[in-house]
Amino acid sequence: MMSQSAVADGGEDIAANAERRWAVVVALIVVLLIGLMVFTGVHWAAMPPSRVETIDPSTLHVSGEFVESNLGTAIGSDGKVVVRLIAQQYSFEPQCIVVPSEMPVTFRGTSTDAIHGFVIGTTNANVMLVPGFIATFTTTFRKTGEHLMPCHEYCGTGHGAMWAHVQVIAPEAFLARVSGGRKATCVSG
C-alpha cells in the first residue's frame, strides 16, 4: 500500500508534466499566430489594394461609365491610364487589353451577370468582379509582354473558356497609340 506522501509526490510530478505540456502547446499556438500575422501582412502588402463602388448592372450597356464605347484603355483627363472592362458569361469586353509597362494603370471593372474575376498572367493584378459593384485597383507592370487573363471564379458552364488577352507594351509605344484621345487597341501578331 502506498503511503500518503508517495501519492502526493506522484501527483506533483503529474501536475508538473501536464503544466509543461500545456506550456509547449500554448507556445506553439503563439508562434503559429505570429507566423500567420507576418504571412498575411507580407502577403497583402504585395497585392495592389482594391476598393469597390456600386453600379446598377441592369443599365450598364445603356448609359454611364461602362457603355461599349467607353471600354478599353484610355488616358483620363488627369493623365492617368485607366482600363475599363466588363465581365459577362462567358467573355470579357474588351477581349484584348493594351497597357503600358512602368506606368501606374488603374483597372475599373464590373460584371453584368454572375460573379467573375480575373488574374493577369503571373502578375499581382487579381480581382473579383461582382454584379452591382465596380472593382478598382491600380498596379504597375514591370515588364512588357503578353499575358492571358483568365476568369478565375467559377461562373457557369463556359467558365473554362472565359479569358482575355493583355498586351503590356513600352510606355512610348503606348502613348503613341493613345495620342489624340484614342483608345489603345491590341495589334494582332
Binding site for ligand CUA (CB under 6 A): 87, 116, 151, 153-155, 159, 162
* Contact yes or no for 113/119 (Cβ under 8 A): no
Shortest distance, CB of residue 152 to ligand CUA, whole angstroms?
Answer: 7
Beta carbon of residue 85, minimum distance to ligand CUA (angstroms, whole number): 12
- In order, the DSSP letters of 5-53 are HHHHHHHHHHHHHHHHHHHHHHHHHHHHHHHHHHHHHHHHHTSPPEEEE
* CA gap 98, 135 in Å, rounded: 19
Q: Which is nearer to ligand CUA, 159 or 183 (CB)?
A: 159
Q: Which three cell numbers stand for residue 104?
A: 501606374
Element holding 62 (H helix, E strand): none
- The distance of closest approach from Cβ of residue 151 to ligand CUA in the complex, given in angstroms and rounded to an integer, is 3
> Which lies closer to ligand CUA via its Cβ, residue 152 or residue 183?
152
Q: At closest approach, how far in Å is the CB of 111 from ligand CUA?
A: 8
- Which residue lies nearer to ligand CUA by CB, 164 or 169? 164
Name which of 100 and 150 has its Cβ closer to ligand CUA.
Answer: 150
